[in-house]
Amino acid sequence: MIGQLFRLTLRGIADFGLHPVAQLLTLVAVGMVTLLTGLIIIGLHNINVELLKSRGEVEFQVYWKADTKTEDVLKDWAVVRKLDYLKDFKTFTPENALTELATTLGETGDFSWLADNNPLPYSGLASFAVPPEAQDEGWAARLLTELKSLPGVDKVHYTPFQADLAQGWMTITRVIVWPIIGFLALIVSLVVYNTIKLSLLTRLDEVEILSLVGASPAYVRWPLLTGGFIQGVFGSALGIGLLALVHSVTAQTLNFPPFFIEIQFLPYDQLGIIAGAVTLVSMASSWVAVK
């Protein structure tokens, strides 16, 4: 039994070369759909990573008055660093802020003429972890008031909690993105289905002869199912390879001020899920075709 199954599998692999042009076009189509699916999932993965970075945090952008003395600003910075639940506090002198602005604007950001008359104030970006008592209304407002009460502070801007944003994105993922991925899976199944059907039509006489001499349905179908499996494995491998190539080219496209986002590649488990799903869809469509 095992020997016969092995021979039928080898036959299916050999039959894969009967229609090389059609098989190659099918591989390319499956690979392109895998690539498109991978790009969508990479986008979701990186958006989720960025949302989770700020989930459960509150960020305050603090600006000091332009005429505040340096020693007074340093005293305020020391007070901020002693506040409860502070996770990170980045400070910017007027010179730092001007350099950051020039770097952001690139070649057009030449502000050397402002070096002696810098209009930018001292500023800081304070990130606070959300404590359990933040469930009580007014926690962020009280912290905002405390920062504004510092002697040299001019104004304070803050971002609200990110949990609602993250939850809203998860809802969008379920409602919109997964149907798109399902549609791409349908495309894969149709492409493989049509290829297997083409193989069956060109071998119709052979199939009828095998049936007349008593060949079992499994004997006829197994080589064709092997072809669907090969389409799924090699097509998904082609798509993942192209996905890795695209990622290597675009990984640093957003890694510049003010974004500083390095696009991450998919984890191995997600790559395995993509490859497995494409292969299963290919085999399922092959099974429907030979039925």
Please give the residue range of the domain that contains residue 83.
56-161
**In the prediction, which pLDDT does 279 show?**
87
* 186 and 65 share one domain: no
What are the DSSP calls for 200-266, one per residue?
HHHTHHHHHHHHHTT--HHHHHHHHHHHHHHHHHHHHHHHHHHHHHHHHHHTTTT-STTT--PPPPP
* 155 and 204 share one domain: no
Q: What is the pLDDT of residues 3-43, one digit of tens each?
A: 766 776 777 677 767 777 777 888 888 888 889 888 988 98
* 91 and 151 share one domain: yes
| Number of folded domains that form the chain | 2
Please say which residue of 111, 127, 161 terminates a domain: 161
* 148 and 178 share one domain: no
Q: Which is higher by pLDDT, 149 or 190? A: 149
Please say which residue of 161, 177, 197 terminates a domain: 161
**In the prediction, which pLDDT does 239 show?**
92
* 262 and 169 share one domain: yes
* 168 and 107 share one domain: no
Share of the chain above pLDDT 70, in %: 75
* 46 and 137 share one domain: no
Please say which residue of 132, 161, 190 terminates a domain: 161
Q: Work out the average pLDDT over 166-190.
A: 73
Q: What is the pLDDT of residues 194-241, one digit of tens each?
A: 776 776 666 667 667 777 787 777 777 787 778 778 888 998 999 999
Tally the C-alpha atoms within 13 A of residue 91's C-alpha that lie toward its C-beta.
Answer: 13
Q: What is the pLDDT of residues 165-174, one digit of tens each?
A: 555 666 676 6
